[in-house]
Structure 1
Amino acid sequence: MSTAEKSSKSPEIGRITTDIPARMDRLPWARWHWLIVIGLGTVWILDGLEVTIVGNLSDVLKDGDNGLGLSSSDIGMAGAIYVAGACLGALFFGQLTDRFGRKKLFMLTLLVYLAGTVLTAFSMNPLWYFVCRFITGTGIGGEYAAINSAIDELIPAKYRGRIDIAINGSFWVGAMGGALLTIPLTDPTVIDQGIGWRFAFGLGAILGFAVLWVRRHVPESPRWLFIHGREEEGERIVKEIERTVEEEDHLELEPVDETITIRQRKTIPFTTIAHTVFALYPRRTILCLALFAGQAFLYNAFFFTYGDTLSTFLDVKQTGWYVAVFAFSNFVGALVLGPFFDKVGRVPMIAGTYIVSGALLAIAGMSLGHLTATTLTIFGAAVFFIASAGASAAYLTASEVFPMETRALCIAFFYAVGTAVGGIAGPLLFGRLIDDATESKDITQIAIGYFIGAGLMIGAGVVAIFLGVKAEGQSLENIARPLTAEESRS
């Protein structure tokens, strides 16, 4: 139930006392929530598909006749351009998500992704390919901001940690699918090589259209609606959700007595958002920057060039099988470890996954000269089984520890800054390291990147020990009080 009192003051457009957050958080898990998981979470599958296809198609893309004549450095450059597009897309669409709503933007950003990946399939030269990778990355970056904010605002507090981590971990379902897909598409006895790699990108577009169709049924966030003066629409959506859950689970939901009073606004000034991030929550800002930089470098540096490393130094002709094993371990890690972020707690799980995975990567770097394709993959599977849940928790943390009015832009900001540090520098560095190592025929030169990634991960884990937020099981409004809140929940 909600009550509203309109005001003539600007920029305030009214005041509302509402129990919507408490009602959303007290919901049991129901089939309705699977609509959210499928409609919103599947974008990570598309992202995983994109990244893996590029990595596994490196040999074909280097072919001057059937591909685009790219070098190893060009492959790294394409990865960096994709991530740069994702960073800028996250920032641009992130602030639009907070201003115009979650649903409008998660539909728009998916359309941008679709346009980019379709155009990639028609690349006729490196420049066209680089531009298309940038457009695709822009859409994916916008998705990260819009989707994470929507998911956390629609999922009950009790399940938020494990669901968010599992959804972010679904990136590796796409990675596994992309790895297996490229096996026949890079086999000249199965399909013409000049067509196979283009079809791989086209498949991403087909899946994207399927996701777009499902998303039509995902509602706007009621939390966003009541803060922006659309409380009647938010109330209608929550009542519809409650009715659906009661019918599906054959139960009667108990009433709630927690409310929050909000001073409604159409928009929140950027200066207010900046003040929130850097002045009100400086410890949380440092925490998020450390988490994002560590996981971005670890993943982008290792995974963007993993296929290239296998084929260049370890004489692997079909990298897809190896990448599929690696991806499978990542997804299983997110599923297995995710529930512990709700049960054991955010701080010990984030710190533990970052520190342990960083230490294992350092050991892999020291052993690099003695590893085969199989043992390198086993090392990678072990490292990222643990790192996967931690990396997903970076997105969870940025999404839940800042006020609702700034949620999407905060996700975008930390994703962009952290990824710029790790995701752009990583592929560029590794592309250069592979070129240099190829010249000298010494694979151990790549270990430099491993050691940097390990150091960033361990450092981020230590930061989490001291600055982590105990957010498990808490309402988003209790973790970070909305900027427009007039009084504490009663």
Structure 2
Amino acid sequence: MTATQLTGARAGARLDRLPPSRWHRRLTFTVGIGAFFDLYEIFLGGVLAAVLAERWHLDHTAKSWVIAAGFLGMFVGANVLSVLADRFGRRRMFLVNLGAYSLCSLLCAFAPNAEWLIALRFLAGLGLGAELVLVDTYLAEFLPRAVRGRYIAWAYTFGFLGVPVAAFVGARLVATRELFGVEGWRWLLVAGGLGAAFIQLMRARLPESPRWLAVQGREEEAARIVTDIEERVARETGDTLPSVAVAAEVPQRRVPLGEMFRGDYRRRTVMWWLFQVLQTVGYYGFGSLAPVVLTAKGHTVTASLSYAALSFCGYPIGSALSVPLIDRIERKTLIIAAALGMAGCGLAFGFADAGWLIVSAGFALTVCSNVFSNAFHVYQTEIFPTGLRSSAIGIAYSLSRLTSVILPFVALTVLTDLGPGAVFIGSAVLMVLLCLDVALLGPRSTGRSLERI
């Protein structure tokens, strides 16, 4: 074992054995709150398509592009920025991605027509593409293994608390049409841009991942950061820190990208690529298409946005519900159970006509969605090594964004020709295939160190 590998193994072991503290909770909040912008963008696409269809006389294809443009940008961003995060560091990419999103979201607010809006939403998505990849990777490399799943679930809960608020505010802004002489939908874009800029300031003092530094051969810097964390945790807990057991840990090293397609990692890569394509329809499809589906059922735009906002209350509740479950139930088992719940609730939503049933089914769907989402976000950080973790997750994640680009064109065509029920029947079938994929190909991971998995 080389000195670099020993340092990497020791850095991971030192971080894993720390008791959870206020420092860990502050880190979790600061990083996790950025998850809000991912789902905010998904919600925003459906709102803009529903609102601007009448105001800008958008046809079927134009509405699809309004929704798809952000996802296309996320596809490119997830591929590029996540790979760069393995080369240049997690912290540096954090400072790039939300900064780019903030600027482009503000520019979107001034779009004079659909063409400009679509182009700028692509650029905003480009900046946001690696956000969730970085959230997952960064937290997994800092958090002790005993609380890794629970704290990452809390991170997403913080982020998703803002989603129903944004949905209610969005419905109100759209209903009022103008605020201070500016159209309501433009304020939604301004809010996203300014909010992202504020989170960026909060993240400016984050340390670089010691695990990543050790893999890069920057042993002294990694050791210095870990020592600082240990001192902070010791002060906050007032206890003597547990001893470090290094001998049992598997050392981390630089890993070429091609390693994804060799040995055990090939099976995991295939499993996760299939998963990311399939999960998009169930998870992102509902968030981005719900307002359009409801207007297709004959509800007004304002009523549709209100129903969607009530349904979206399930996102933070489902995320919070996952916290006590995620470290007690094997990750892959929880993913499968939540996916089946999403399939059933989606069918109920697709065939519902009464307002109370639409909201109830939508709420239950979003609860299941975020149990599912939190479980898979933790799971994906555990199945690839530090040297290619961000790249492997990001490339797979980009496939979900590419699927999201295609989804509006397919789903809106099915919606127009066959109705809402057919959209959610197709979604349910794909979620069942996802369950088979994870059950047959996915490794177990709960409670194990990243180095051992």
User: Quick check: TM above 0.5?
Assistant: yes
Matched, 1:420 2:402: yes
Q: Quote how far apart the aligned CAs of 1:191 are.
A: 2.8
Q: Residues of 1 paired with 2:375 and 2:37: CA distance?
A: 20
After superposition, the C-alpha distances for 1:246-305 in whole angstroms (9 at most, x for unaligned) are 11121121221225575865xx5xxx3223345432332233123322221112322212
**Are the counterparts in 1 of residues 271 and 442 from structure 2 also a CA contact under 8 Å?**
yes
The aligned amino acid for 1:432 is: T
Q: Residues of 1 paired with 2:314 and 2:252: CA distance?
A: 46
Assess, with a 3 A threshold, how the Cα gap between structure 1 residues 252 and 291 changes in structure 2: closer, same or farther. same
Matched, 1:402 2:350: no
Matched, 1:296 2:284: no
The aligned amino acid for 1:427 is: P
Matched, 1:330 2:330: no
Q: Residues of 1 paired with 2:339 and 2:289: CA distance?
A: 21
Assess, with a 3 A threshold, how the Cα gap between structure 1 residues 176 and 360 changes in structure 2: closer, same or farther. closer
Assess, with a 3 A threshold, how the Cα gap between structure 1 residues 299 and 171 changes in structure 2: closer, same or farther. farther
1:11 equivalent in structure 2: none
1:484 equivalent in structure 2: none
**Structure 2: which 5+ runs fail to align?**
none
Of 250, 265, 268, the match for 1:284: 268
2:122 equivalent in structure 1: 134
Moved more, 156-165 or 121-130: 156-165
Q: Quote how far apart the aligned CAs of 1:392 are.
A: 3.0
2:291 equivalent in structure 1: 307
Q: Which structure's residues are more often helix, by fraction? A: 2
Of 322, 339, 344, the match for 1:359: 344
Q: Residues of 1 paired with 2:327 and 2:141: CA distance?
A: 16
Q: Residues of 1 paired with 2:162 and 2:292: CA distance?
A: 19
The aligned amino acid for 1:51 is: I
Q: Residues of 1 paired with 2:187 and 2:411: CA distance?
A: 27
2:80 equivalent in structure 1: 92
Q: Residues of 2 paired with 1:417 and 1:351: CA distance?
A: 20
Q: Residues of 2 paired with 1:319 and 1:450: CA distance?
A: 17
Q: Residues of 1 paired with 2:177 and 2:375: CA distance?
A: 42
Which secondary structure does the structure 2 equivalent of 1:281 belong to? Answer: helix
Of 24, 47, 59, the match for 1:33: 24
Of 403, 427, 431, the match for 1:453: 427
Q: Residues of 2 paired with 1:254 and 1:15: CA distance?
A: 22
Which secondary structure does the structure 2 equivalent of 1:70 belong to? Answer: coil
Of 198, 201, 204, the match for 1:213: 201
1:330-349 paired onto structure 2 within 5 Å: 330-349=315-334
2:53 equivalent in structure 1: 62
1:144 equivalent in structure 2: 132
Moved more, 162-171 or 306-315: 162-171
2:371 equivalent in structure 1: 389
1:243 equivalent in structure 2: 231
The aligned amino acid for 1:34 is: R
Assess, with a 3 A threshold, how the Cα gap between structure 1 residues 189 and 284 changes in structure 2: closer, same or farther. closer
Matched, 1:20 2:11: yes
1:224 equivalent in structure 2: 212
Assess, with a 3 A threshold, how the Cα gap between structure 1 residues 292 and 110 changes in structure 2: closer, same or farther. same
After superposition, the C-alpha distances for 1:101-159 in whole angstroms (9 at most, x for unaligned) are 10001111111111220111110111110111111111111222222211110111111
Q: Residues of 2 paired with 1:196 and 1:427: CA distance?
A: 24
Structure 1 residue ranges (4+ consecutive) displaced by more than 6 angstroms after TM superposition: none
After superposition, the C-alpha distances for 1:59-113 in whole angstroms (9 at most, x for unaligned) are 432343xxx4434542322221211111110000111000111000111111111
**Are the counterparts in 1 of residues 102 and 193 from structure 2 also a CA contact under 8 Å?**
yes
Assess, with a 3 A threshold, how the Cα gap between structure 1 residues 452 and 278 changes in structure 2: closer, same or farther. farther
Q: Residues of 2 paired with 1:211 and 1:26: CA distance?
A: 29
2:141 equivalent in structure 1: 153
Larger radius of gyration: 1
The aligned amino acid for 2:330 is: G
User: How many equivalent residue pairs?
Assistant: 450
Moved more, 461-470 or 451-460: 461-470
**Structure 1: which 5+ runs fail to align?**
6-13, 438-443, 480-490
Assess, with a 3 A threshold, how the Cα gap between structure 1 residues 140 and 126 changes in structure 2: closer, same or farther. same
Percent identity for Structure 1 against Structure 2 = 25
Of 184, 188, 206, the match for 1:200: 188
Matched, 1:42 2:23: no
The aligned amino acid for 1:452 is: G
The aligned amino acid for 1:42 is: I
After superposition, the C-alpha distances for 1:28-53 in whole angstroms (9 at most, x for unaligned) are 22111122222211111122223223
**Are the counterparts in 2 of residues 398 and 411 from structure 1 also a CA contact under 8 Å?**
yes
The aligned amino acid for 1:391 is: S
The TM-score normalised by the length of structure 2 is 0.92
1:10 equivalent in structure 2: none
Moved more, 23-32 or 46-55: 46-55
The aligned amino acid for 1:455 is: V
Q: Quote how far apart the aligned CAs of 1:373 are.
A: 3.1
Assess, with a 3 A threshold, how the Cα gap between structure 1 residues 4 and 329 changes in structure 2: closer, same or farther. same
Assess, with a 3 A threshold, how the Cα gap between structure 1 residues 15 and 390 changes in structure 2: closer, same or farther. closer
Q: Residues of 2 paired with 1:289 and 1:264: CA distance?
A: 24
